């Protein structure tokens, strides 16, 4: 028997990167997967990959910063599959790379609206369904930036710190109903997104690209970045019965970054 046979998992931001890998590993382990994000094209591509694994996938175009979209996301999941067992709050944006005094309110607000308010709205929509079922899993995908200060990235860091607080709060509010809530803090993750982050940081600092990139792994025990699959495997563990006694926890997947 696979770890997630019969389960239904909603993965926000499921078209790219970590979200895509989580959707694939969940599908491989028997879950029906709901993929939600603002842009439909990448979701369709991920859904096709999930289907190749023999799993069912539902694509929903949704903006998690909008209350109505989060409510519809959960409603459509239950309408299609009859339940909602797992919610992965992965949708997020990097935001600007600039000093706080150079940042517009709209730039700050957009990051918080998607990264933390979106996680809160999606969780709020899913919790009543999970309570009725008597069980459920909520996973927050935070960041190493949720463990320390992050100069030039103030809204991103603030939103990722807040996800840890939301994790602990929801775990204590809903633990007696059978809902477990945990958080993953990936470090620098190999892929296109971290390359964009590094280039933006190098430009903002007026520093060489190679120097900035080295700083992303300099404090890691393994002296490397992690992979999307390595993060997804921890997400699988936390959604499985192997983690039945784990809730309210934040787990780093960062190659042993001593700064976290």
Spatial neighbors of 93 by CB under 8 A, at least 6 apart, are 110, 111, 114, 115
Cα distances from 14 to residues 19, 88, 100, in angstroms, run 4, 9, 30
Confidence at residue 116, expressed as pLDDT on a 0 to 100 scale: 98
Q: How confident is residue 131, by pLDDT bands cut at 50, 70 and 90?
A: very high
Q: Indicate whether 192 pLDDT > 90.
A: no
Please say whether the beta carbons of 131 and 110 come within 8 A.
no
Residue 44 CA neighbour count, 13 Å, CB half: 3
Q: Which domains does the chain have, with CATH numbers?
A: 8-187+227-253 (3.40.50.720), 190-225 (no CATH)
Confidence at residue 94, expressed as pLDDT on a 0 to 100 scale: 94
Nearest-CA neighbor of 241 among 167, 180, 186? 180
Cα distances from 165 to residues 147, 170, 184, 215, in angstroms, run 11, 9, 12, 27
Is 26 annotated as catalytic? no
Cα distances from 49 to residues 12, 24, 80, 88, 167, in angstroms, run 16, 7, 20, 18, 30
Q: What whole-number distance in Å separates Cα of residue 252 and Cα of residue 63? A: 27
Confidence at residue 40, expressed as pLDDT on a 0 to 100 scale: 94
Averaged over 111-125, what is the pLDDT?
Answer: 98
Q: How confident is residue 198, by pLDDT bands cut at 50, 70 and 90?
A: confident
Q: What whole-number distance in Å separates Cα of residue 156 and Cα of residue 160? A: 6
Write the pLDDT tens digit of every residue in 32-71: 999 999 999 999 999 999 999 999 999 999 999 999 999 9
Confidence at residue 1, expressed as pLDDT on a 0 to 100 scale: 66
Would the CA dihedral through 97, 251, 19, 228 be positive or negative?
Answer: positive
Report the Cα–Cα distance between both ends of the chain, in Å, rounded.
Answer: 36
pTM above 0.75, yes or no: yes
| Residue tagged active-site, from 16, 26, 150, 156 | 156
**In this structure, what token pair is assigned to residue 260?**
């976290």
């Amino acid at each position: 028997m696979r770890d997630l046979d019969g389960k239904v998992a909603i993965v926000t931001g499921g078209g790219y990167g970590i979200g895509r890998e989580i959707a694939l590993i969940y599908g491989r382990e028997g879950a029906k997967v709901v993929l939600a994000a603002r842009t439909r094209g990448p979701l369709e591509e991920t859904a096709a990959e999930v289907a190749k694994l023999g799993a069912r996938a539902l694509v929903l175009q949704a903006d998690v910063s909008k209350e109505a979209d989060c409510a519809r996301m959960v409603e459509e999941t239950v309408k299609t599959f009859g339940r909602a067992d797992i919610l992965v709050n992965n949708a997020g944006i990097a935001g600007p790379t600039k000093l706080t005094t150079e940042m517009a309110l709209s730039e700050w607000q957009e990051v918080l609206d998607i990264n933390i308010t979106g996680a809160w709205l999606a969780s709020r929509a899913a919790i009543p369904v999970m309570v009725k079922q008597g069980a459920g899993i909520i996973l927050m995908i935070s960041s190493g930036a949720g463990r320390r200060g992050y100069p030039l990235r103030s809204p991103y860091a603030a939103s990722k710190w807040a996800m840890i607080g939301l994790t602990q709060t929801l775990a204590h509010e809903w633990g007696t109903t059978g809902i477990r809530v945990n958080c993953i803090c990936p470090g620098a993750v190999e892929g296109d997104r971290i390359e964009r982050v590094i280039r933006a940081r190098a430009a903002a600092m007026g520093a060489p690209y190679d120097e900035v990139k080295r700083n992303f792994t300099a404090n890691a025990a393994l002296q490397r970045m992690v992979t999307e699959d390595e993060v997804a495997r921890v997400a699988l563990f936390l959604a499985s019965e192997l983690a039945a006694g784990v809730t309210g926890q934040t787990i780093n997947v960062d190659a042993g970054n001593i700064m976290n």
